Amino acid sequence: MALIESLEKRFASAIDRKEQDRAFRRVEQLTGLGAAVSSLEYLASSRDFDRGELLSWDVARTRYRWMTGRPAKALGVVFDKPGIQALFGLRVMAAATLLHPRSSSSSKTAAATYLAATNFAVHARSPYGSDGSEAVLTLSLTSIALGRWFGSDARARQACLWFIAAQSCLSYGIAGVAKLVSPVWRDGSAVRDIFRTHMFGHKRAFEFLRTRPKLSRAVGMGTIVGEMLFPLVLVAPAPVARALLATGAGFHAGNAVLMGLNRFVWAFLGTYPAVMYCSRALGRRKKEA
């Protein structure tokens, strides 16, 4: 009897490790795609790094004292053009390494480490032109790098998956609460007015919502409720959890089409395999209890 129980535990452990590796690999690939999209967008708008522009090195180096004086020249090799273009070009190659299924484990470790480190470096250089998706990518890439550095320890990868899942749920929940306390989100005017801005605007969407205040209010409240309910994905029954994930994916896809927030799609979808893994793990524990 003891032998059978021991074999059952080993078999269950093997299945869990296989599921864990699959979830980690999917997080890695989707996050790598997000890093590639982000880097390509920076390369496409590289004129913003020209002298005299807001993201130029002459402006960016004034943020911190340690970026001025003698260090400025050395840092400029990387942070000024054409160095900054090379940095993003290498990021695209590193992201492709994470996406390629036949890349070696050591090359993926190096790629994840480079992507995480350069995310921190680019943010230190200048946070302007960045958004929440970059914060999610930074956390996910750092977790992936740590998971690969300690890849022989199943507990380390499990901790990384749980951290990514918790961070994802926390991001949605906090965003929902922040919108809930905002009167312009509750009455729908925020939804309408976002589409009239230069950066995130969509003329047709604005014209459509301008004469439909009830619809704007419904979209605003729907966004609030959806974001606040998202953390329940960890404890909800499987069909409900899948519905919440599908709603979140649809929300980001809609934002990409209407507002041009392409990075958000892959940054947040990159966390979903970790969320699903943790949701299933909690579900199994409930059944065992």
Q: Both tokens of residue 135?
A: 């914060």
Lowest mean pLDDT among 6-10, 170-174, 237-241: 6-10
Dist CA 235 CA 256 (whole Å): 28
Q: Could you write out the three-class secondary structure of 6-69?
A: HHHHHHHHHHHHHHHHHHHHHHHHHHHHHHHHHHHHHHHCHHHHCCCCCCCHHHHCCCCHHHCC
Dist CA 46 CA 82 (whole Å): 9
Answer yes or no: is pLDDT of 7 > 50: no
> What confidence tier does 11 reach under pLDDT thresholds 50, 70, 90?
very low
pLDDT at position 3: 39
pLDDT at position 48: 86
- DSSP letter (8 states) at residue 1: -
Dist CA 80 CA 120 (whole Å): 16
Diameter of the chain by CA atoms? 76
CB-side neighbour CA atoms (13 Å) of 39: 26
Model confidence pLDDT, tens digit, residues 88-126: 999 999 999 999 989 999 999 999 999 999 999 988 887
CB-side neighbour CA atoms (13 Å) of 220: 25
Share of the chain above pLDDT 90, in %: 56
CB-side neighbour CA atoms (13 Å) of 70: 0
> What confidence tier does 10 reach under pLDDT thresholds 50, 70, 90?
very low
Model confidence pLDDT, tens digit, residues 260-287: 888 889 999 999 999 999 999 887 666 6
pLDDT at position 12: 44
Lowest mean pLDDT among 23-32, 79-88, 112-121, 125-134: 125-134
> What confidence tier does 129 reach under pLDDT thresholds 50, 70, 90?
low
pLDDT, the chain, mean: 87
Give the pLDDT mean for 176-187. 94
pLDDT at position 176: 95
For the chain, domain boundaries:
17-35+101-117+130-288
Instruction: Give the other-Cβ count within 10 Å of 73's Cβ.
Output: 10
Model confidence pLDDT, tens digit, residues 211-243: 898 999 999 999 999 999 999 999 999 899 999
Give the pLDDT mean for 69-82. 86
C-alpha distances in Å from residue 202, one per residue of 101, 112, 191: 38, 35, 11
Residue 90 φ/ψ, nearest 5 degrees: -65, -30
Answer yes or no: is pLDDT of 190 > 80: yes
pLDDT at position 245: 95
pLDDT at position 64: 81
Residues 199-213 as b or e (16 or more Cβ within 10 Å = b): eeebeebbeebeeee
Q: What is the pTM of this model?
A: 0.88
